[in-house]
Amino acid sequence: MMKTCTLFLLLLCAMVGGASAQNVQLTDSLFADSLRQLTHRYLEAERWDSAVKYGELLFEEAYRQHDWHGNVIEAHVALGIAYAHQGKYHRAMSHLGQAYQNATTSHNRQMIDKAFNQIMQIAQVEQKQLVEHRMNILLLVVGLVALSIICSLFFALYFQKNRLLIALVKQQREAMERESQRERRSQVLADDKKRGLITQLEMLMQEKQVFCENLLTKERVAEMLQTNRTYLSQVINEVYGKSFTQYINDLRIEEAIRRLDRPDNRRALRLIGQDLGFNSPTTFNTQFQQRTGMTPAQYRQKVQQLVHAE
């Protein structure tokens, strides 16, 4: 702190005494160096609020001096690390993205890569703490996917795009599910009879959207397909790896997501659930949250935020 005050006095004396432009420039450089040293000192001391404070001052001073490839990058990297320790990953990745845009040397890029790896380590520690509260393998996989999303966030911010976190998680889940379904289908659908039944079932669901019927039963679907309920359940379980009820609810939730993805859809959530065949808003909310990790209201809010961000 004494050194900082001394630098301010040097700058004041230089201005009052009519010091040369070269001396003023030297004083500015010393002031920026002092700010950089203070920022790194607080990072080493793990005092993240102070590191953010002096990192911002360093950025302002470097910006004023047009030091785009030196202290500006230093400030971005330091702020990225400090914000990551505060759990503000969006800001952290934003600063690293701006640093990468200003980087012109291999040394700068190596420094940014090192900071990026450090942030990933911070995220891994935090993610591990969350995963420890999960009691089964499925939730562990979701946790790892969430970690991969943090990694993808750097590239999303670099290209100035905003994505919904839940959309990425859902894509990962659906990709794994489609892969497992593809393997099951290749075995099960070797039977012509089963292949024909699945073709008719999917046509019935996709074209006529029978799944939207309230109180839809296995018996009614079997009757429409001219088969029996036991055989229908068996084929659905073998092909999709789920029960009849799960199959119908998944179709309903997929349709709900498609409708909520339209920003112009202002229909009440309660009515959307009724349109899709759910008997109560509670059932709709429960099924939607099990599939997406958030309630329909939260999902609609995320969609609106994404639209406004674009």
pLDDT for 226-244, tens place per residue?
Answer: 999 999 999 999 999 999 9
Nearest to 128 by CA among 144, 152, 116: 144
- Residue-range domains of the chain with CATH: 2-121 (1.25.40.10), 181-309 (1.10.10.60)
Per-residue pLDDT band for 6 (boundaries 50, 70, 90) equals: very low
User: Within 10 A of 219 (CB to CB), how many other CB atoms are there?
Assistant: 11
pLDDT at 186 over 80: no
Amino acid 181 reads Q
Q: What is the pLDDT of residues 258-272, one digit of tens each?
A: 999 888 888 999 999
Backbone angles phi, psi at 263, to 5 degrees: -60, -25
Amino acid 111 reads M
Q: Please name the residue that has the structure tokens 């073998």.
A: 238
d(CA 275, CA 184): 32
pLDDT, average across residues 109-137: 79
* Contact between 281 and 217 (Cβ < 8 Å): no
Q: Which residue has the higher pLDDT, 190 or 92?
A: 92
Amino acid 110 reads Q
Residue 122, CB half-sphere, CA atoms under 13 Å: how many?
20
* Contact between 299 and 269 (Cβ < 8 Å): no
The secondary structure of residue 134, as a DSSP letter, is -
Token representation of residue 15: 């201005």
d(CA 77, CA 59): 10
How confident is the model at residue 161, as a pLDDT? 44
How confident is the model at residue 153, as a pLDDT? 62
Q: Which residue has the higher pLDDT, 2 or 32?
A: 32
Q: What is the pLDDT of residues 249-302, one digit of tens each?
A: 999 999 999 999 888 888 999 999 999 999 999 999 999 999 888 999 999 988
Token representation of residue 235: 């084929």
Residues 6 or more apart in contact with residue 86 via CB below 8 angstroms: 48, 49, 52
How confident is the model at residue 269, as a pLDDT? 93
How confident is the model at residue 71, as a pLDDT? 77
d(CA 78, CA 72): 10
pLDDT at 163 over 70: no
Q: What is the pTM of this model?
A: 0.42
